[in-house]
A and B are shown apart, each in its own frame.
Chain A
Amino acid sequence: MPIVTINDQKFEFDSGETIIQVAERNGIDIPHYCWHPRLSVSGNCRMCLVEVEKMPKLVIACSTLAMDGMVVHVNSLKAIAGREHVMEFLLINHPLDCPICDEAGECKLQDYAYAHGTGESRFIEQKNQKPKRVKLGPYVMFDAERCIACSLCIRFSAEIAKEDQFTFVQRGDRVTIETFPGKEFDNPYSLNVVDICPVGALTNRDFRFKARVWDMSDTKSICPGCSRGCNIDIWVRNNEILRLTPRFNEAVNDYWMCDHGRINCFKFVNADDRIDSPMIKKAGTHVSSVGWDEAISKTVSTIKRFKSDEIAVIGSPFAIVEDNYLLAKFARQVLHTKNIDFIKHINPADQDDILIREDKTPNSLGAKLAGISPRNGGLNFEQIMEGIKGKKIRCLILIEDDVAAISQDFLDSLSNLDSFIVFATNNNKSTELADIIFPSATYAEKNGTFVNFQGRIQRIRPAVMTIDLDRSLDAMSLSRLDKFGTEFDRWGKARKINARSTWRIILQIANSFSMKFNYETSEDIFLEISQTIKEFDGLDYELIGELGIQLKSYQLVEEPILV
């Protein structure tokens, strides 16, 4: 194999690799703005200048192919001087905007200005004036003065999102970006350009000015928006989720996530319509808040009124594997009912060959594997609904889903039920009809696992505190304020929802039926799953890790689509 020497270290490489690729693969950082591992090389920022022995001039590492015997110096005096000059040019027209710029704190121009700037500008003339606050599309705001014309955003749209919607106009120091006439920058992946833009030229209109990046905690999690299960970071300040960003996972979502996931998959956690305590319908039609014990004993006495074949259970592809497993076990061992299924949320019109999947839930596969399917002759979902209509099913237990929202027909027949027990995170059409409501924790408030459409099991972790969770004691990620503040500070008094993981509620109900389910944490349940269900054989949370793991014995439903 050919060998290239970078910073006195020798590396093998495949022919066709560029210097920056070899360096990146081996953990050597070469400063760059316009290069991205998944996009074509444009070589216009000139920041990746390196010195190559026997070459007369500095070369850019992003477009120079590595050659056998090549000797590269990333940090020689000449290379550093070259990059300092590039920085000086970039900073000539860049406004001193950092105090009002959302990128501050995660800005490459800031970082490299520290590392490679002279600290002083020799430019005394008037800086360029360009349009600020231009709405490029529904989610993306553009500030032309801050743009360093690296073209990453343009290449992303053309090459990854596969929609040409904007381009450079003008040239020289007047260069700027405009959408094509009559077009908006509104493709379903538009917000990824905010992540890859090395400066604050492109900002997320949904997040702008909400918080400084250094004031938030970030938690590694999974997007619940569809069965792709993009790896994400959840950013939280004052116990409120402020944004989601994609987290690199080559096997699932690469560097990206879709706008639907980013914009719509956290607001329900912060929303005012969260269910904030167990509720029981008392005489009349209104539900009222009660304590956990009262709600649980009411549930027990309610369930005891019915024969087992009058009871049906609906699990949830929005709930974690552990919730569904315990629900299935509860149905088997406590309720003795075979009528158990979950609702599929498929929208074939909304799927592409990039990330977005037609299955709009994060854990259909996990729910199925956990045992949420009718057992020997039990009723499936459609039959359960038939049964309710024909008054054969008289008690329905529904977790983390909304049957009533599916059709008017379903909504009408639900009133036939004698008893409707709902576990929900937010108010919805089903909770309006429920006799007993339990507040479930959302995906951002618990530990657990999802199985995506590829059969890859991935971890979610709590990012937001409920009454059951404590940032420090439960090893949640801490922001600076969380770490050094006290409970008497304003930010320590943030809202905490009175909700619990669904499995914890089921556990309490089961044990009130004098079962002896003994789980302290969701991992205890998972360890039992890994011993009883062959697809999960031998797994634990540590093995699943940050990037998830492919279920061994699981046959892929279809080939994973590589983006």
Chain B
Amino acid sequence: MSVVKKRRKDLTIFQKLYIPEIVKGMLLTFKHLFGPKFTRQYPEVRYEQPDSYRGRPVLVQENGKERCVACGLCSRVCPALAIEVQAVETEDEKERYPNLFEINMLRCIFCGFCEEVCPEEAIIMSKDYELTFTKYEDAIFGKDKLLVPVESLKGRIEFLRKYR
């Protein structure tokens, strides 16, 4: 049998007025009103993320081509089934590349597993977090939106090499 804890129902008049509590609350309000400000004027002032930040996954573009060999491991490991890859043969040395690579950004949960599993360092979590869509189709990112030049991903790649 559980013990029912008795509540004190009858507050005194003084307590019912809540005046000390209101005063306490207002004191806190005024303290912060005149104290130092932490609010960032987004989007005018932007947040510079550390390299450990996981924004949307992007494909690394090197010498104008994707590094990806369409092995499908990211698609396999993705817990949200967000990635679809279709491989085809190429005459390049790497033999295969993705002629279709899509990430459904409504499904992606930014876990970074795809980045972790990729044997080619070809999919990287970028710092981009500004994702808004008005249509379902807009949320499916194809190669056009995913490919990002390797230069702009340097920080994250170095972070991964160091700490992974």
Contact = CB atoms under 8 A, between A and B. Distances in A.
A491 B84 contact: yes
Interface stretch (B1-9, B66-74, B124-132): B66-74
A489 B104 contact: yes
A214 B88 contact: no
Nearest to B95: A100
Contact of A100 (B71, B81, B84, B140): B71
Interface string A462-485: 000000000000000000110011
Contacts of B69: 99-100
A209 interface: yes
A90 to B, nearest CB: 20
A485 B84 contact: no
Contacts, number: 41
B119 interface: yes
Contacts of B104: 489
Contact of B81 (A98, A210, A481): A481
A215 B72 contact: yes
A208 interface: yes
A489 B84 CA distance: 10
Interface residues of A, number: 20
A464 to B, nearest CB: 19
A375 interface: no
A57 interface: no
Contact of B95 (A98, A133, A212): A133
B120 interface: yes
A142 B57 CA distance: 35
B129 to A, nearest CB: 24
Interface in B84-124: 84, 87-89, 94-96, 102, 104, 119-120
Contacts of B120: 99
A490 interface: yes
A490 B81 contact: no
Interface string A197-241: 000000000001110101100000000000000000000000000
Given A133-B95, A489-B81, A99 B73 contact: yes
Contact of B89 (A132, A209, A480): A209
B102 A212 contact: no
Contacts of A488: 136
Contact of B94 (A100, A210, A481, A484): A100
Contacts of A99: 69, 71, 73, 119-120
Contacts of A98: 71, 119
Nearest to A213: B72
B88 A209 contact: yes
A491 B84 CA distance: 9
Contacts of B136: 488
B72 A212 contact: yes
Contact of A484 (B76, B81, B89): B81
A100 B72 contact: no
A212 B84 contact: no
Contacts of A481: 81
B139 to A, nearest CB: 11
Contacts of B73: 99
A100 B89 CA distance: 10
A536 to B, nearest CB: 44
A484 B76 CA distance: 12
B100 to A, nearest CB: 10
A214 B102 contact: no
Interface string A98-123: 11100010000000000000000000
10 contacts: A99-B71, A99-B120, A100-B94, A100-B95, A209-B87, A209-B96, A212-B71, A488-B136, A489-B81, A490-B140
Interface of B: 69-73, 75-76, 81, 84, 87-89, 94-96, 102, 104, 119-120, 136, 140
Given A133-B95, A210-B87, A215-B72, 15 more contacts: A98-B119, A99-B69, A99-B71, A132-B95, A208-B89, A209-B70, A209-B87, A209-B88, A212-B75, A214-B76, A215-B75, A215-B76, A490-B84, A490-B102, A490-B140
